[in-house]
Amino acid sequence: MELFEPYQVEPYSDFSQKSVQDAYKEALESVRGQLGQDYPLIIGGEHVATTHGWLESVNPCHKEQLVGRSAKAKRKEVERAMDAAWTAYESWSKLPMSARARALVKLAAVLRRRKFELSAWETFEASKSYPEAEADVAEAIDFCEYYARQALKLTGPLETYDYPGEENTSFLIPIGVGVVIPPWNFLLAILVGTAVGPVVVGNTVIVKPSPDTPIIAQKFMECVAEAGFPPGVINLVTGADADIGDLLVDHPRTRFINFTGSLETGLRVHERAAKLQPGQKWLKKVYVELGGKDALIVDETADLDMAADAAVASAFGFQGQKCSALSRLIVVDEVYDALLEKVVERAKKLSFGPAEKNNHVGAVINQKAVDKIIGYIENGKTEAKLVLGGGRGDDAGFFIEPTIFAEVPQSASIACEEIFGPVLSVMRARDFDHALELANATVYGLTGGVISNDRSRLERARREFHVGNLYLNRKITGALVGVQPFGGFNLSGSNAKAGGPDYLRLFMEMKTVAERY
Ligand code: NAD
């Protein structure tokens, strides 16, 4: 008998049903009653108070509303977390794989039981609409379920040839303590996936969430405790980037770094981690999953309604703050005007306002993001033609209207740089060849898509569109764990392929034993 049932992607709720909406609103009200609390660090299973002040997490839709405060760590707490994680490693790494896999499945069950509650926290902390928040929690559950099953495949000896007179065995072992550094945009899913992947194969971790979203990390730690993980296997250290970012990356006892975030920070992490520190005994393994400048090509054979739906969903879902979000819509000349009209028409209909009301487009994460995005919009006005939006919403939150620029030239900053907001550049291509050339003219290579009814072009895109995740005749966001392993090419990162069959192997090393008899 198998230990677990076959893996299945966590289903989504149908938010068109009133009863489902009501259940979500109930969760929002329950969470609203818990806002504004203080949370300590969690190290070695203990709640650790600090004297360095607090990270304040606010609701992006209502800047004045405090979601909660999480203690700030400094060097002393980082050292304590290192000690706790290495102590836990002693026993956790020696457990059978099945015991650790079972812990992940228990964790998935706890997350599932608390699905709407956790989603509601995301609505408050990151301005996610109901379906966007639920999809993030579902993805976190999927990571636990999928990695639990994948881990069981890594237990036996690896396939090698026999040699006369000797017993030769090669097998995989865990590597040690890692630092997990997720971004704020998939605030639970990426945090959970990048932590439990290494953990299930025997490593222990220190999780350092984004200072913008520490409270969901605290809620995750409640689930970790409820699922019965031994103390010190997963530690939570919240703090300012300036205080603990470099410290965790540089630390001589950090064995690996599992980072997801921007190109700029990722390059810094990559470079610093390469430097040997006094007392360090290994080469750090470093995975950096970074940004994108994702393009969707639409040609003259495409179903333009389907293309417009795909473009609007990919560009404006979660305010365009997905690494996979569409930011360059590249349209073949013949259908450019017709498609642009349909895209603008649909984008105009998107509701815009607070996430608690389940608007399609809510607030962006913080003031820094507002300033950056507005800066690009101002650039865009000089580089291309503004056809929709460009303004701010209610000043109570970090709102930016869904914005579309047309006739965007390849040289424009809004055609080249990651904006990470609700801003879409629509570019005109002479023909499909030119469209493909424009799509590949980027330093990134994360997601991309083609909407076409021409079989030979779809096949060509498979070969020549250089992105880690290519989508044909559908939206370009929403990769599913175990179904569409996720990770990009070029400066989009190390291509770790989260939710893929090779992921766990990245956090193990192979030992080979040869015995002559
Ligand atoms: P960011 O680079 O600002 O921060 C990412 C993480 O790094 C955060 O936890 C942050 O606190 C931490 N950090 C900041 N300075 C640090 C330092 N000096 N040392 C160590 N850690 C440090 O990115 P963000 O704004 O949180 O996330 C958005 C970015 O993430 C976008 O570029 C997006 O495309 C990318 N992203 C990529 C993927 C992917 O799978 N490729 C997925 C989601 C997001």
Check if 79 is active-site: no
User: In angstroms, what CA-CA distances link 446 with 115, 239, 292, 330, 479?
Assistant: 29, 29, 5, 16, 12
Residue 178's contacts (CB-CB under 8 Å, 6 or more residues apart) are 198, 203, 204, 205, 206, 254, 255, 256, 257, 258, 507
Check residue 2 and give its pLDDT: 86
| Atom 4 in ligand 1: residue holding the nearest Cα | 261
In order along its 517 residues, the chain shows pLDDT tens digits of: 689 999 999 999 999 999 999 999 999 999 999 999 999 999 999 999 999 999 999 999 999 999 999 999 999 999 999 999 999 999 999 999 999 999 999 999 999 999 999 999 999 999 999 999 999 999 999 999 999 999 999 998 999 999 999 999 999 999 999 999 999 999 999 999 999 999 999 999 999 999 999 999 999 999 999 999 999 999 999 999 999 999 999 999 999 999 999 999 999 999 999 999 999 999 999 999 999 999 999 999 999 999 999 999 999 999 999 999 999 999 999 999 999 999 999 999 999 999 999 999 999 999 999 999 999 999 999 999 999 999 999 999 999 999 999 999 999 999 999 999 999 999 999 999 999 999 999 999 999 999 999 999 999 999 999 999 999 999 999 999 999 999 999 999 999 999 999 999 999 999 999 999 9
The answer to whether the predicted template modeling score (pTM) of the entire model surpasses 0.75 is: yes
Check if 289 is active-site: yes
DSSP annotation of 29: H
Residue of 57, 180, 181, 321 with the most ligand 1 atoms within 8 Å of its CB, for mutation:
181
Of 134, 289, 356, 417, the catalytic one is 289
Helices (H), 153-257: 189-200, 214-226, 241-250
- Strand duo 62-71 + 54-59: pairing: antiparallel
| Atom 43 in ligand 1: residue holding the nearest Cα | 323
DSSP annotation of 359: -
Cα dihedral 256, 216, 190, 471 in deg (nearest 10): -170
Of 61, 144, 223, 323, the catalytic one is 323
CA separation for the pair 407, 343 (Å, rounded): 14
| Atom 10 in ligand 1: residue holding the nearest Cα | 210
DSSP annotation of 212: T
Say how many CA atoms lie within 13 Å of 340 toward its Cβ.
24
Report which secondary-structure segment, H or E, holds 407. none
261 CA to centre of ligand 1 in angstroms: 2
**Ligand 1: residues whose CB is within 6 Å?**
181-186, 190, 210-211, 241, 245-246, 249, 260-262, 265, 268-269, 289-292, 323, 418, 420, 446, 486, 488, 492-493
> Residue 112 corresponds to which amino acid?
R
288 CA to centre of ligand 1 in angstroms: 9
Farthest-apart Cα atoms in the chain, separation: 78
CA separation for the pair 388, 401 (Å, rounded): 8
260 CA to centre of ligand 1 in angstroms: 5
- The residue count of the chain comes to 517
262 CA to centre of ligand 1 in angstroms: 4
Q: Of 214, 193, 215, 187, which Cα lies nearest the Cα of 205?
A: 193
Q: Are 364 and 398 a contacting pair, CB within 8 Å?
A: yes
| Atom 22 in ligand 1: residue holding the nearest Cα | 245
Residue 292's contacts (CB-CB under 8 Å, 6 or more residues apart) are 323, 324, 325, 327, 418, 444, 445, 446, 447, 488, 492
3-class state of residue 5 by DSSP: coil
Using a 10 angstrom Cβ sphere, with 0-12 exposed, 13-18 middle and 19 or more buried, the burial of residue 147 is buried
197 CA to centre of ligand 1 in angstroms: 18
Using a 10 angstrom Cβ sphere, with 0-12 exposed, 13-18 middle and 19 or more buried, the burial of residue 450 is buried
Q: Are 419 and 373 a contacting pair, CB within 8 Å?
A: yes
Q: Are 134 and 116 a contacting pair, CB within 8 Å?
A: yes
User: In angstroms, what CA-CA distances link 159 with 110, 173, 448, 509?
Assistant: 37, 15, 36, 15
Check residue 14 and give its pLDDT: 98
CA separation for the pair 295, 418 (Å, rounded): 12
